[in-house]
Structure 1
Amino acid sequence: MAVGVAVGGERRLTTATGANAAALFAWVVVFPLVAGLWIGARRDTLAALRDRAERLEREQVARADRVRAEERARIAREMHDVVAHRVSLMVVHAGALEVTAADPATVEAAALIRSTGRAALTDLREVLGVLRQRAGHGTPLPPAGLDAVDELVRESRAAGLRVDRQDEGTPGPVPGGVARTVHRVVQEGLTNVRKHAPGAEVTVRLRHLPDGIEAAVRNGPSTRPGSALPGAGLGLVGLRERVELAGGRLSAGPTADGGFLLRALVPMEDVT
């Protein structure tokens, strides 16, 4: 199309052609449409892959939970069928001996065996209940208060140990998890003394600190050989794991006088 005549001659301006119109349409409409479709398809594909990965992960977690639950149930059945059965027999025989024995010392020992066996059955039932619970379900074991430490000392004295109970610091509110960990430390220490150092003098000390509790069980040298009580040798290993899970530290080893010291520092949780 001729625009006009100007100085220097006639000038012409080409405004549009079919090719230019097609290129403009492709650039303005087709290319953004294709790019949008590709981006949308890629986004949908990534979302589908992400959903599939999450679903597979959930299925894997569910399978692992199911396997753990089955294994826990199997262990609970074995403990019930074997351990609970034998402890029940022990309690029954101790009760019969308590009734029929003429010697007062024998009657007292049988009564102690019977009461200890009944307490062991109660604890075992609680543990079996935990084993049978599904992850995230059920009620956990009730926490043992620090007064349960005094009960451990009384039981050990009744069994013949010479135990001295000491407290340092000012007792205050103690969370259940801390109290139960302290209870297990003292329990393990007294059990090891009965097994490996019978007749030794024992000191159970609780130090009440501003930010935690230090529990220590110290025994002197044994006055007679230890009894051949069966054990898996994993008591201190499991106890160390328990204390460290609570954020604490555990130390165990011989002392200079030939005895043994078990000590744990358990940090205090927030008491609400």
Structure 2
Amino acid sequence: MTPAYASMASIGVIGPTVIVIAVLASLYVGTRRRLARASAELAERERELLAEQARADERTRLAAEMRDVVTHRLNLMVLHAGALRMAARDDGVRQAAEELRTAGCQSLAELRDLVGVLRSGRAARIPDVLPDRLSRLVADSAATGLEITLTEHGDADTLSPAVRRTMYRVVQESLTNVHKHAPGALTEITIHCGPSSVRAVIRNTRPTAAPGLVLAGPGNGLLGLRGRVEMVGGTLTAGPTDDGGFEVDAVLPAFVPT
């Protein structure tokens, strides 16, 4: 065999060998990358499962705490209100005691639903807030002696359920603050429902009496309310007015996905 022929034969053997080695190396590198990616995805999934377990444990703890403490206190309140209604001789006191008992029973029912959601860990369908509930909310506040007017423009039925619920909470929290901090004030609620947005303005005048007994609390009602409004793409402003009163102004989109 001549040297030239041997050289050509050697090249003919080495060339395919190099190609095979290159292919095998490429397959090895690709397999290592896929294994590393799968390992990273598995680790991420394990972290998600651990985080979900931690959230489930926290929900269970909160549900137990609410059931053992808050429900117990509400039950006592309802029982005391019922006893006061039976023992009172004054019609006004009996009526106030009955309203307190009714409100306590409603709160207990809502709290039990919430505890059930927390314990199950499943998403629950939140009941829609129909327009007439806003009228009942205003009527309940008026029954306690608050001078209040409600003016509605447009059709609230066109709003999506999430927006109706948020608007209801805006009015509810605003009225709670009037009861606590502005006794004797005149309160005006104006709702404007348009094709693309809804605006709720709750304005009260200067209080005519000193605040009575105010329940202790962190005072984060408006802060939490602003966060709730922003979650549905709205804005909320709140602050004192020039005449010594207070105004809450919330603007929300008419529709957000449920």
- Do the two structures share a fold, i.e. TM-score over 0.5? yes
The residue correspondences of 1:42-121 to structure 2 (distance < 5 A) are 42-121=29-108
Q: Which residue in 2 is equivalent to 1:185?
A: 170
Percent of pairs identical after alignment? Answer: 40
- Poorly superposed stretches of 4+, deviation over 6 Å: none
Q: 1:176 to 1:170 in 2, by over 3 A?
A: closer
Distance 2:52 2:69 in 1: 26
AA at the equivalent of 2:190? R
Q: Which residue in 2 is equivalent to 1:7?
A: none
Three-state SS of the structure 1 residue aligned to 2:243 is: coil
Distance 1:66 1:144 in 2: 32
Cα-to-partner distance string for 1:220-250 (whole Å, 9 max, x where unaligned): 1111122322222111111111111101101
Counterpart contact for 2:81–2:98, Cα < 8 Å: yes
Identify which of 123, 147, 150 aligns with 1:162.
147
Instruction: Tell me by how many angstroms 1:169 deviates.
Output: 2.9
Q: Which residue in 2 is equivalent to 1:244?
A: 230
Instruction: Tell me by how many angstroms 1:130 deviates.
Output: 2.7
Instruction: Tell me by how many angstroms 1:16 deviates.
Output: 4.4
Instruction: Tell me by how many angstroms 1:95 deviates.
Output: 0.8
Q: Structure 1 regions of 5+ residues with no counterpart?
A: 2-13
Distance 2:254 2:57 in 1: 35
Counterpart contact for 2:67–2:115, Cα < 8 Å: yes
What TM-score do the two structures reach when normalised by structure 1? Answer: 0.89
Q: Which structure shows the higher helix fraction?
A: 2
Counterpart contact for 2:163–2:256, Cα < 8 Å: no
Identify which of 190, 211, 232 aligns with 1:226.
211
Counterpart contact for 1:221–1:259, Cα < 8 Å: yes
Distance 1:219 1:254 in 2: 9
Instruction: Tell me by how many angstroms 1:129 deviates.
Output: 2.4
Distance 1:190 1:37 in 2: 74
Instruction: Name which of structure 1's ranges 193-202 and 226-235 shifts more when overlaid on structure 2.
Output: 226-235
Q: Which residue in 2 is equivalent to 1:264?
A: 250
Distance 2:155 2:78 in 1: 40
Cα-to-partner distance string for 1:12-60 (whole Å, 9 max, x where unaligned): xx89422221123212x11110111011011100000100111111111
Q: Which structure's relative contact order is higher, taking Cα pairs within 8 Å and 6+ residues apart?
A: 2
| Number of equivalenced pairs | 257
What TM-score do the two structures reach when normalised by structure 2? Answer: 0.94
Instruction: Tell me by how many angstroms 1:140 deviates.
Output: 2.8
Q: Which residue in 2 is equivalent to 1:4?
A: none
Distance 2:227 2:81 in 1: 35
| RMSD (CA atoms) | 1.9
Q: Which has the larger radius of gyration?
A: 1
Identify which of 148, 152, 155 aligns with 2:133.
148
Cα-to-partner distance string for 1:140-165 (whole Å, 9 max, x where unaligned): 32122222211211111112211111
AA at the equivalent of 1:66? Q
